[in-house]
Structure 1
Amino acid sequence: MEFFQSQESLTAIQWILRAIIGFFFLLIVTRALGQRAISQLRPLDFAIALVIGNIIAHPLSDEHLGLKGSIITTTVLLALYLGGIYMILKFSWFRRLLSHAPITIVENGEILYKGLKKARISIDVLLEELRERKIEDVKKVALAIWEADGKLSVFLDPKYEPLTPSSMQMAAEPFNFPRTIIKEGKINYEVLNQVHKDEGWVVSNLENIYQTGVQDVLLATLDNKDILKVFLYK
């Protein structure tokens, strides 16, 4: 276990062992942090994600640095992070300390310059965010809020909202999620059993409709109307 300690030089095997242990330890820590730290980089999340990567990376590239110290440091940071999450959930004052309240930057089609300054974003950033949501006119926006995680929540004026069956008092079909029965040339027999089909049915439909075989199919899905959609390798 000498590769845990600081060394004048490391053998190839010791470098490999150090890299493997560092890699799997980082995976364990990432798993413990949870999806929140990956998808929503709030201040606490950003700090822990930024620091842990550097702590683990240094001993993997410098043979004079021991891995033991990095693991201990990361474990302490993980404990602090989980403690911080607990305090955020438990105490509103601590939550306000780390995360700012949502900031209104557009209201009833009007841009609130004070909101832009408080959120520290420019007009260009606001317009870019709206374009990404296919909104070409600020006047169509009833409310736009800059959230604590750096994302923009936008609500259109009702008269600019797209029509839905509900708004037109029309009956809509139930939600239909197509099942994947073939992926990368392999049949998913578990799903096939769920939809009460067999391999013969699949092979027959592929030959009759698409003049192809299972091995040539990149993806094939089946909906609740027994409509088979096939995507071939190209």
Structure 2
Amino acid sequence: MSAEIVPFDWARMLLGDAPPLFLLEIVFRTAVIFLWLVFLLRVTGKRGLAQLSPLELAIVIGLGSAAGDPMFYPEVPLLHAMLVLALVVALQRLLSHLVIRSEHVETFIEGLPVELVRDGVLRGEALQRANLSREDLFERLRAQGVRQLGEVQRAYFEQDGALSVFTHPHDPPPGLPVVPPWDLEPPRALPPGDPYRGPLACLGCGALRGAEASGQQDAGQLASTDPPVCTCGGDRWTPATTDPLTRD
């Protein structure tokens, strides 16, 4: 078989074995499938175009696979492809209806929101369930103008993959800095014996330790002379700050 192939046969490489007139058929096939796909997507409604939940991702993959082949494969009839596309959209509409009617179906298909931050403290198990790293979360928080974790009252990883952040409206408490990005400038970890006085933030989860964390007015003890172990298991601490960009 390989002996029959002529290397660098430009006619074979560009046109294949089909006659040149088949190019016009490809134009017609592409136009028909494209217009049919636009019509079906219009039927799915605006919600299907505005989000990319697992259900929407499934329909995108299904439509893309079913729409590509009939555009240029002559052995794939157009009516067969159009039927497949219509069935994919019909299944999507059915599942969307079930999602609206049944909370169990909605949970099975789209999952549940995950609380990632509560009162300035990261929730490690929640990050694992959301399949996010700490750096991924910090990147998303920076995109919403968050400078340090103390600003965040709650952060939820929604079902569609978006991050909803609720911050203190006024005078947020100090917290673990998320700017600058740690890959560029990691927070200063206090070594044992450092004479720093004041609130500290755990480098693992952002939990606070010190006078301001407990609501006291004095500076508290020398927090780093005997580094405590955080509830998350971390033992590395950094000065908590209300604004890491002003170095308060």
Decide: shared fold, TM above 0.5.
Answer: yes
- 3-state DSSP class of the match of 2:170? helix
Bigger RCO (CA 8 Å, 6+ sep): 2
The residue aligned with 1:126 is: 137
Letter of the structure 2 residue corresponding to residue 38 of structure 1: L
Aligned CA-pair RMSD = 1.9
Amino acid of the structure 1 residue aligned with 2:119: N
Structure with greater Cα Rg: 2
Q: Which 5+ residue runs of structure 1 have no aligned equivalent?
A: 1-6, 162-234
| 1:160 positional shift | 4.5
CA-to-aligned-CA distance 1:86-113 (integer Å, 9 cap, x gap) = 1011111111111111110000000010
More helix by percentage: 1
Q: Unpaired segments of 5 or more residues in structure 2?
A: 1-17, 173-248
Which structure features the higher share of strand residues?
1
The offset of 1:149, in angstroms, is: 0.3
Within 5 Å, which residues of 2 pair with 1:102-117?
A: 102-117=113-128
CA drift at 1:63: 2.3
**CA contact under 8 A between 1:10 and 1:63: conserved in structure 2?**
no
Matches within 5 A, 1:1-234: 11-160=22-171
Question: What secondary structure does 2:156 align onto?
Answer: strand
What is the deviation of 1:15? 2.0
SS at match of 1:143: strand
Quote the residue 1:202 is aligned against: none
TM-score normalised to the size of structure 2?
A: 0.59
Once the two structures are superposed, residues 115-144 of structure 1 have per-residue CA deviations (whole angstroms, 9 ceiling, x without a partner) of 101111111110010110111111210000
1:10, distance to aligned residue in structure 2 (A): 6.1
Structure-2 separation of matches of 1:84 and 1:11: 39
Q: How many residues were matched structurally?
A: 155
**Residue aligned with 1:158, SS:** coil
* Alignment CA distance shift 1:48-1:160 (3 Å): farther
Q: What is the distance in 2 between the residues matched to 1:140 and 1:16?
A: 56
> Do the aligned residues in 2 keep the contact of 1:143 with 1:155 (CA within 8 Å)?
yes
| Native 8 Å contact 1:109 1:139 kept in 2 | yes
